[in-house]
Chain A
Amino acid sequence: MIATHYTYWIIFGLMMIGLYAVMSHGNLVKKLIGLNVFQVAVFMFFISLGRVDDGSPPIITEGIDVYSHPLPHVLILTAIVVGVATTSVGVAIAIRIYEAYGTVEEDTALARDAADEGAE
């Protein structure tokens, strides 16, 4: 069990480290970096599902019979580029929040909102 499944377990560990960073940190940029770690770990999980023992990359060549499955590769290849595009939307929002509040710390920004409501 350990020999065949430890890859998955480490990948789950990586995913949850990313999730932990998203949940526990108040800094928006740090949250995005954590989200990136989470995302990359999900990619690894998909790719590891497509692997086959003694296989080759799925580029058909004479004399090779065993190939890893191309479908996870296709899905993840596009997901990586989509991932960076959506991350940059997040980065843009964080920058706008910084310009409006002078901080990217969630707690400080929320406290400022609460203070504004109290003043009205």
Chain B
Amino acid sequence: MVKTVFVRIAVVCLMIAGIAPRVFAADTVTLSLSGNSESFNLVAGNASNSGSSNITATTTWSLLPPCTASVYAYFASASTALTDGAGHNIPSSAFDISDNGGASAALTNTIVFGGANAGLQLENLNVGPANKNSSVTDAMTFNINLSGLPQLPAGTYTGSLFMQSQGACNGNNNITNSGAQTIAVTATLPESLTISLSSHAVTFSLKAGSATNAGSTSITASSAWVMKPSRTAVGLYAYFSSAPAALTDGFGDNIPSSAFFISNNGGASTALTTTVAFGAASAGLRLANVAITSANENSSRTDAMAFNINLSGGTLPQLPAGTYTGTLNIQAQATP
């Protein structure tokens, strides 16, 4: 009888001993990052805007198989993954991660964490007896693709990219999540306004007293801009630094800016007699004034300028023979 009781007790103890690990040994999943911030210098409309550094996520687990171990990257919102705080956003679909040298993939999936369509699963590993206590690393490179956001205004866009791992065991009955690790993302799209010219020199063969002395070539000014939302206009100007002496022979004989004409994009030939944002008073011409809206915050334009010097007015018919030189400047300004 005592022997029977002892055997029964022994069996129960063995059963308890066998079950205990399943009940009391806690599954653990942790995730750590090699860095917690990522910055981007954006180029408007560019598909390739790489992050400043790579970040490695290391996920370590201790799980009771059979399990799966997954690693996720996600934003809290698909539409406002990064934002300038003024209603302009970079969605998660424009944020790409290349994991361990693989193809770049946008965060467009709905995963177990984060916003709908705002995530990407980096790992989905089977965990068995051989790797029940193991780890995985995910070396991530980042890219922001602005090719679908060509009108994103200049600004600083910030957001939080979250990294989180999950162990799922026992047919998903036992779920163990790591803590969410945050990568602070800062993407800067600088404001810019540039002009380039197709050429930087024009010559004129003048005819005394003639109203028509065309330049040797037309010049095209290509203006491009990336504006902050607050800008309302881009002006393009041609100007001289002196109205009475736009061109001079260096001996006191001058061609005034009022005798210098520009026909812009085939329009009427117009003298440089206006006071504009740059240059001397009454020595300029506004070639263009582009109203900036949300549709052209990042845009460009071309101005094909044809030149003429009119020597028929005032005392210019008596302009002496000589070589007259001057510098015409082309410059743009965004306001306010």
Do A and B form a real pair? Answer: no
Taking beta carbons and an 8 Å cutoff, which residues of B are in contact with A? none
